[in-house]
Structure 1
Amino acid sequence: MTDSTAETPGTEPPATVETPGTESPATAEAAPGLRADRVSRRTDGRLIVDGITLTLRPGETVGLLGPNGSGKSTLLRLLAGILAPSAGIVTLDGRALPRVGRRATARRIATVEQHAHTQTELTVREVVALGRIPHRRAWASASAADTRAVDAALERSGLTGRAGQSWHTLSGGERQRTQIARALAQEPRELLLDEPTNHLDIQHQLDLLDLVVSLPIATVIALHDLNLAAMYCDRLLVLREGHVVAEGTPGDVLTPSLIKRVYDVQAEVTHGPGHPAIRFLRRAPKP
C-alpha cells in the first residue's frame, strides 16, 4: 500500500533549491502554514511545473483544476515534500521542508493519492493505523494516543463498523474513505488529495467531498469535475501546461472563456444560489 509517511530506501530526498537569504526569522514569522513560492519542477528536461506560488489559508479548501498533464499531481507532491523543486521553495511555517524534516512534515501534512494498493492482507483498522507511523519510534508498539487517534479517524470517516474488515473486500468508495481515515489518523493540519473521486459513483463522490470539506484543516484537492470543484472549493487554482492561468473563487474563475481556453470545450455557466453550475455543449457533428 502506498503510504507517504513511510521512508522507503531509494526514494528521492525532499531537497529544495535555496538561495542565501531565502529564509529568515521574519519570513518564518510572517508565513504560517504551507506555502509554495515560485516552485518549478523539471523532469527529463521538460518543465512540468513552472513558477507556481500558493499559500494555504487555515481551514480552506483549494481546488486544483486543469487537464491531464497540467501539473496538478506534481504540484501536490512538491507541497508534500515527496518531490524536490528544481527552483523555488516550499515552506511550512516559514521553514523549508528539508529543514523541517520528513517525520515532522508527515505529522503536519497528510496525502491521499489516486490509487492505493497492497499485496498484504490488512484490515481497515490496520490501514488507518499506518497514519500513526510519524508519531512513533521505529518498532514501538501503539500507544493509547495512537489508539484514540485511529478510533477517532474511523468514526469521523464512518468506518467504525468496518474496522475489522479486509481491505481487499472494500468497494472503491470505501477504500478512498479508508485512505482519508488513514490521513486523519496522522492528525494533520494540511491535507493533500489527488483526484480522490476518480472511479467513484455520484453518491460516493458527494459523500467523500462532504467529509473532506467538513474537516477543520486546510485542504488542497485535485479534481477533474468542474461542477464538484464549484460546489465544494473555496478557491480554485487552474493550471495549464504547468502554469497558473487563473486563481480565485469558483464564481470568478469558472467562466465560459476560461473553460474554452483551458479545456478547449464550449460551456455555459449559470450563477444560481451558492455556486456556479457548468453545462458543457455538444460539438456540432462533422459533415
Structure 2
Amino acid sequence: MRADRVCRPAGGRLIVDGVTLAPRAGETLGLLGPNGSGKSTLLRLLSGVLAPSSGVVVLDGRPLPRIPRKAVARRLAAVEQHAETRTELTIREVVALGRIPHRRAWTPASAADAQAVAAALEATGLTAMADRSWHTLSGGERQRAQIARALAQEPGELLLDEPTNHLDIRYQIDLMELVAGLAVTTVIAVHDLNLAAMYCDRLLVLRDGRVVAEGTPGEVLTPSLIGEVYGVRAEVTEGPGHPVIRFLRGSRPHPPGVP
C-alpha cells in the first residue's frame, strides 16, 4: 500500500495536503497530530471510503479505484472511531461480518469462517461475551468488537483510527500489544504519544493536513517537535528501547526568544 501526494478538501480548505505515505510490509506505522490535523481523513483515503481530489492510493501497484471492492475488502480492514447499528446483533454476529468478503452471496458460513471468528474473539478478550447484544456494550467494548471484526477479516493491511479511545489502561496496552504482534501492515492513528513510542515502528506526524516529520519514535518525538505540533512543553528521556515523554506543568512553550 502507498499513498502518493494525496489531497482532500473540505469546507474550503485542504484537510489532507499532498501527503505521501508508504508503510513497509509488516510494520506498525503510527499517525500522530492534534485534532483536525487530517489523520482520520487520511485513513479514509487509504481505505477507499474517500477518493483523493489529487494524488493516488495504490495497493500492489494498482490504483485503489481500479480494484474490485470485494478484492480490496479481502486485503484491507478498517476500524473507524465510531460504529453504530440499529440492528439487534450479538458480538459474535458483529465479528462474523468480517468474513463477508471471503464468501459468495447467500452462502453459509464455513468451518474456516467460524475458526476465524473464534480466533478474533479470543485475541480481543471477547469470547466470554460473544452472545451479548451489541446495544448493551460500553464504548470500549464496542471498540474491541470492531477490532475483532477487522481481525476476523484476516487482512494483509489494517487501518485503525484511534482504537484506544474509550479503553481503560489495561485494554489500551493489550490492544497495542496485539496490533504490534500481528503479521500485517498496520497504519494506526494514535493520540497517546507514549503508546505510539512503545508500539509503533515508525511515526508520521501531521499538522494542518501536511507531513511535518517522519521516522522512528526516537527520531520524531523530540521536545521541539512536540512543542511545535502540540503547543506543549515536554521532557523526552530514553526508556527501554523507546523514548518516554513527560509533559510539564505550565506546559505552553515560551515564544521564541523568551526564557
Q: How far, CA to CA, are the matches of 1:88 and 1:284 in structure 2?
A: 38
Match of 2:135 among 168, 192, 214: 168
Which residue of structure 2 aligns with residue 98 of structure 1? 65
Which residue of structure 2 aligns with residue 126 of structure 1? 93
Q: 1:218 aligned to 2:162?
A: no
Q: 1:61 aligned to 2:28?
A: yes
Q: How does 1:206-285 map to 2 (within 5 A)?
A: 206-283=173-250
Letter in 1 for 2:56: I
Letter in 2 for 1:139: W
Letter in 1 for 2:101: P
Which residue of structure 2 aligns with residue 49 of structure 1? 16
Match of 2:152 among 185, 188, 211: 185
How far the C-alpha of 1:166 sits from its partner, in A, is 1.6
Q: 1:196 aligned to 2:176?
A: no
Which residue of structure 2 aligns with residue 38 of structure 1? 5
- More displaced 10-residue stretch of structure 1: 70-79 or 151-160: 151-160
CA contact (8 A) 2:140 2:165 kept: no
Q: How does 1:145-156 map to 2 (within 5 A)?
A: 145-156=112-123
Q: How far, CA to CA, are the matches of 1:153 and 1:273 in structure 2?
A: 30
Q: How far, CA to CA, are the matches of 1:170 and 1:45 in structure 2?
A: 38
Specify the SS of the correspondent of 1:76: helix
Letter in 2 for 1:227: N
Specify the SS of the correspondent of 1:129: helix
Q: How far, CA to CA, are the matches of 1:258 and 1:159 in structure 2?
A: 38
- Alpha carbon RMSD of aligned pairs, Å? 1.5
CA contact (8 A) 2:5 2:20 kept: yes
CA contact (8 A) 2:233 2:251 kept: no
Q: How far, CA to CA, are the matches of 1:262 and 1:227 in structure 2?
A: 16
Question: For residues 139 and 52 of structure 1, do their structure 2 counterparts lie closer, same or farther at Cα, with a shift above 3 Å needed?
Answer: same
* Structure 2 unaligned residues grouped into runs of 5+: 253-259
Identical counterparts, % of pairs? 76
Q: How far, CA to CA, are the matches of 1:202 and 1:142 in structure 2?
A: 35
* Structure 1 unaligned residues grouped into runs of 5+: 1-33
How far the C-alpha of 1:284 sits from its partner, in A, is 7.4
How far the C-alpha of 1:177 sits from its partner, in A, is 1.7
Which residue of structure 2 aligns with residue 135 of structure 1? 102
Question: For residues 52 and 284 of structure 1, do their structure 2 counterparts lie closer, same or farther at Cα, with a shift above 3 Å needed?
Answer: closer
| Aligned residue-pair number | 252
Q: 1:80 aligned to 2:47?
A: yes
Q: How far, CA to CA, are the matches of 2:20 and 2:97 in structure 1?
A: 31
Which runs of 4 or more aligned residues in structure 1 lie more than 3 Å from their structure 2 counterparts after TM superposition? Answer: none
